[in-house]
Amino acid sequence: MDDIRPKLPAKPERFMDILRQHIRKQGLSYRTEQTYTHWIKRFIHFHRLKHPADMGAAEVETFLTYLAVQGLCATNTQRVALNAIVYLYKQFLDREIPDLDFKLAKRQRRLPVVYSREEVFAVLSHLQGVFRLQIELMYGSELRSAELLSLRIKDVDFSSNNIFVRGGKGNKDRTTLLPKGIAEDIQRQVKHVSLLHQQDLLAGCGSVYLPDALDRKYPNAAKQLAWQYLFPANSISQCPRSGIYRRHHMHSSTLTRQVSNAVRKAGINKPARCHAFRHSFATHLLEAGYDLRTIQELLGHSDISTTEIYTHVVNRGDKGVLSPSDRLRNINKIEETEANYFVARKIGEVLGLSLLAAP
């Protein structure tokens, strides 16, 4: 249950607990809380546990320059660290930060890992049961692994073939398509969850975690089937927030191990990443002729420049682009065909046969 915010003391005294309480009051997502606290801790430890109130622009510049020069971090990594430190001083400590002068990290443009259709099929052939269904859903619905595992039964609408993603990246909601080919498999998964939920209710632990204040707004929802996770964990564990024993969703590491094993068995010489199936979804749609705006909306990108990265990995063969090397090979084949024709013609003349015009 590492995606559930732990409970804080009613009157926190430790610096990091007070900071977490401030972040929660601002309504920021738990992922943002984890990211900010991580970089603020690194900033403090870099300066040998010196209190942030006793530091200023010079210490911030030294830390950010270290990340770029010695840490060899990417541009986005340095930017995230800067955002965390700016929040620390401007929002939390209510102190203005002057213009900073630090070494910028080199911009690194990383192309996404994309599996071909044949490779996706090969990976699926080495997966079984719920794990195969999960990958089919990730590839067919462009879901991130965290979004997939956080799906609840109520988020799947079979009548409209839609999946509702709640609190995705950036804490945004969106809809995406439900592949018709796996709808029956998902319905069987819902029946499985229903039986498991009945067993949990009989055992006295059938309530599920509800985000924000939904448990107070809908006190009976936690025990309803609609709110149960579509891919529940195999065991019951204690909630770090309430202390109640309940069944959470499957842990991401379980799915990651399955994908790694399947990619290795399929003999695919590419990194084994769950997120690659989302990249493959976008790339294959682009190859099929769908426009960037449609793909942008499905992926939930706020900026189309993020979606444009897939134009760099699309299969150019489907776009009518022929490499100059391939043209040379075609010329060689034509010359070879013509040479073979004239040899055959000479043989035909010797044998008293006639051939039609050259191809």
What residues are labeled active site? 144, 169, 275, 278, 301, 310
- Enter the tokens of residue 357: 């015009």
Write the DSSP string, 62-103: HHHHHHHHTS---HHHHHHHHHHHHIIIIIIS---------P
- Report the alpha-carbon distance of residue 205 to residue 190 in Å, rounded: 19
Sheet holding 162-165, edge to edge: 156-157, 162-165, 174-177
Per-residue DSSP letter, 163 = E
Taking the CA atoms of 228, 233, 234 and 236 in sequence, report the sign of the dihedral they define: negative
Taking the CA atoms of 200, 205, 131 and 156 in sequence, report the sign of the dihedral they define: positive
- State residue 213 phi and psi, 5-degree precision: -110, 25
